[in-house]
Amino acid sequence: MEFNESFILGCSAIGAGLAVIAGIGPGVGQGIAAGYGASAVGRNPGAKGDIMSTMLLGQAVAETTGLYGLLIAMLLLFVKPLI
């Protein structure tokens, strides 16, 4: 069966949309990290600087998986590897 170009483009767009669902995980993870960060600041306000930097570092690392999904979406939409 022969697929034409617009069919592949449409499927790529659907695939890109599915790929950015990967953003759910980092969102939940960053929220949990921020919540625990807030409770840690509440328990020990003196260590606010250390808690902030540790939290931001962890969040930025946790963000990576979501960015991989974004990258796949970008590749599907703009580089068009399947055509």
Residues forming the site for other proteins (CB under 8 A): 53, 56-57, 60-61, 63-64, 67-68, 70-71, 74, 78
Whole-number minimum distance, CB 2 to other proteins, in Å?
Answer: 30
Joined tokens for residue 74: 């970008």
Distance, CA of 64 to CA of 61 (rounded, Å): 6
Reported as type and span, the H/E element at residue 51 is helix 48-62
Whole-number minimum distance, CB 63 to other proteins, in Å?
Answer: 7
Q: Which residue number, 15 or 23, has a Cβ lying nearer to other proteins?
A: 23
User: Coil, strand, or helix at residue 2?
Assistant: coil
